[in-house]
Every structure is written in structure tokens, then in C-alpha cells.
Amino acid sequence: MNTGQSLLAIGAMILLSILILRVNNTFLTTSSTFMDTKFEILATSLATSQMQEIDKLKFDQNSDTTGNYFTNTSELTSPFSLGPETGETGPSTFNDIDDYNGYTTTINGDSALPSANFNIRCTVNYVTDTNPNVVSSSATWNKRITVYVTSVSMPDTVKLSTIFSYWNFN
């Protein structure tokens, strides 16, 4: 083999090495993106499930005890008292949506995804009627529930918010 043929063989090996590295990089990127997407879908499902559990409850603690319709926002729970009342220790004892204010839990992965440990955190705030992004310092007819789901396996936090409103048509 002469010098020209050796240089061609070396050039071919370099091109083949570059091609193999590119293909491996593409496979690794695709795999990483696939796993990120899988965890984000699971986190979104957990946040949606949490929101559905909250949706089953009454708007306010006072509506459980009085049985009457509210006519004034002063009858609602104070914004500084949002959270579980005495004796309410978890979802099985919560009876109104603001009991979830400050609630946190951890969902551990199963054998299919052992690294999928998710942390769920909920916040509940009164919001203004005209702008639901602004937290109100007084009771209003609207409460914003936000569910945050995080995991060490995800690069971002999944945040799901909704507004629950009290309506009386009497």
C-alpha cells in the first residue's frame, strides 16, 4: 500500500468515526427527550388528578357549617386562614378547597419507573375579580388553586392553575 492509499484509508476512518459519533449523539438526544417527555406527561397527569380531587370539595369551610348561601364576602374564610382547620390532617379529612393550601405530598415511582418520584405542592389564594393573576388580600368570590409537580428526573416544574368561583343565583 502506498502513501496515497494510506491517506485515503485514514480519511475514510476519520469520516466513519465522525459519522458514528453523530449517530450516537442523535440516539442519546432522542432518548433523553423521550424520557423528559414521559416524566412531564406523568407529572401533568398527577397535577390533573390532584386538581380533580380538589374540585370535589366545597368552596369554603363556612358553607359546610351554615348550610346557607353567602351574600357577602365577609362570610367567607379569611385569606389569612386558608389551609386545613383543626383536625384536618390530609385529603381524607379535607372538606373545602382551601384546605389544600400548603399541602405537600410525594408520589414514589413503581417498578416500571423507579426514578419517577414526584413532589406535589398546592397553593390556594383569593384572587381579584378583574385579574385572576393578582392575589387579593381580602376574601373574594374567586379562589385560585395552583398545583406544582417537581421531580429530580425532570428539568422543569409542571404548574397547573385553575380558578374556582362561588356562584349564587338566588
d(CA 29, CA 117): 22
CB 154 within 8 A of CB 37: no
Question: What is the layout of strands, in order, in the sheet containing 142-150?
Answer: 104-107, 118-126, 142-150, 158-165
53 band by pLDDT with thresholds 50, 70 and 90: very high
pLDDT of residue 102: 93
Nearest in space to 44 (alpha carbons), one of 162, 148, 155 = 148
Q: Check whether 83 has a pLDDT greater than 60.
A: yes
Confidence of residue 28 (pLDDT cuts 50, 70, 90): low
What is the DSSP annotation of the chain? Answer: --HHHHHHHHHHHHHHHHHHHHHHHHHHHHHHHHHHHHHHHHHHHHHHHHHHHHHTSBS-HHHHHH-SPP-SGGGSPPGGG-S--TT--STTT--BGGGGTT-EEEE---SSSTT--EEEEEEEEEB-SS-TTSBPSS--SEEEEEEEEE-TT-SS-EEEEEEEE-----
Q: What are phi and psi of 144, to 5 degrees?
A: -100, 125
Dump pLDDT digits (tens) for 85-141. Answer: 888 888 888 988 989 999 999 888 665 566 678 999 999 999 998 888 888 888 888
pTM (2 d.p.)? 0.77
Which of the four pLDDT bands, split at 50, 70 and 90, describes residue 39?
confident
